[in-house]
């Protein structure tokens, strides 16, 4: 079935003391269509979505804490509409102290992927 959209959540509780890198592969060609990200107030982090060869191939930007998660779509991505080939390894990198606030705390990143 084509046209399905699903989520890939990355949740890291507590205050981060080091970068976090989540690795994933998938079974068919997909497209990244959205990102939702959140961290506690007064904290921030740099989020990168990419591959082992290019860790910010699809997205890089700062996520600053607030009352609600931020929502990013294709206009915010480095390569709008780029497919994610099925056989590669992908990375979600959370740079815990690279943002504008204190060390990231209680981080949630949700990738929205579409067939």
pLDDT: which is higher, 85 or 91: 91
Which pLDDT belongs to residue 74? 81
Which pLDDT belongs to residue 86? 78
Residue 81: CA atoms inside 13 Å, Cβ hemisphere, count? Answer: 0
CA 49 to chain CA centroid, Å, is 5
Q: Tell whether the model's pLDDT for residue 2 goes beyond 80.
A: no
Once rounded to an integer, what is the mean pLDDT over residues 60-81?
86
pLDDT: which is higher, 21 or 4: 21
8 Å CB contact between 88 and 23 = no
pLDDT: which is higher, 88 or 10: 10
pTM for this one? 0.90
């Amino acid at each position: 079935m084509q046209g399905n959209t699903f989520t890939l959540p990355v949740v890291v509780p507590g205050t981060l003391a080091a970068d976090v890198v989540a690795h994933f592969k998938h079974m068919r060609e997909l497209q990244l269509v959205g990102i939702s990200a959140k961290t506690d107030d007064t904290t921030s982090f740099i989020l990168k979505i990419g591959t082992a060869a290019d860790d910010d191939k699809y997205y890089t930007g700062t996520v600053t804490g607030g009352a609600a998660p931020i929502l990013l779509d294709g206009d915010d991505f480095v390569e709008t509409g780029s497919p994610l080939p099925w056989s590669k390894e992908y990375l979600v990198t959370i740079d815990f102290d690279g943002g504008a606030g204190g060390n990231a705390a209680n981080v949630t990143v949700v990738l929205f992927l579409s067939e």
